[in-house]
Amino acid sequence: MKPSDPGKLDRIVADARRAAEQRDQGYRERALKIYPWICGRCAREFTRANVRELTVHHRDHNHDNNPPDGSNWELLCLYCHDNEHQRQLEAAGAGSNSAAAGRVSTHTPFADLKELLARKSNSK
Ligand SMILES: [Zn+2]
Ligand SMILES: [Zn+2]
């Protein structure tokens, strides 16, 4: 085996990136053909002039899941698309945050209560 040519690797990476870009371009074009140019959240309508602000959202968040019938796509304007992903992040983050907050908020009062009870019983 010869050591691999770094230039070749660069070409492979560039090819893969181009393929991914073409694939992305592909599903966007297809989604825009299948669906009316309307944001699925705020119902804002788009025309050729501003269709750049209309994005393709993947319902299952898997960008590789592009069924030809478009069932995994949803057209969303930039803002609603942002919100959609923000909500996902918050939902994911809130779960762990509230669990952590729950631990903290239950820990302290119980510790205080224990201490109070201990003090009370000691003072008797
Ligand atoms: Zn919208
Ligand atoms: Zn999305």
Cβ neighbours of 27 (radius 10 Å)? 20
pTM of the model: 0.59
Average pLDDT for 87-115: 62
Which ligand has the nearest atom to the CA of 41? Answer: 1
Identify the band that residue 123 occupies on the pLDDT scale cut at 50, 70 and 90. low
Q: Compare 39 and 121 and report the one with higher pLDDT.
A: 39
Identify the band that residue 62 occupies on the pLDDT scale cut at 50, 70 and 90. very high
Assess contact for 34 and 26: CB atoms under 8 A: no
- The alpha carbon of 48 and the centre of ligand 1 are apart by a number of angstroms equal to 16
- The alpha carbon of 82 and the centre of ligand 1 are apart by a number of angstroms equal to 9
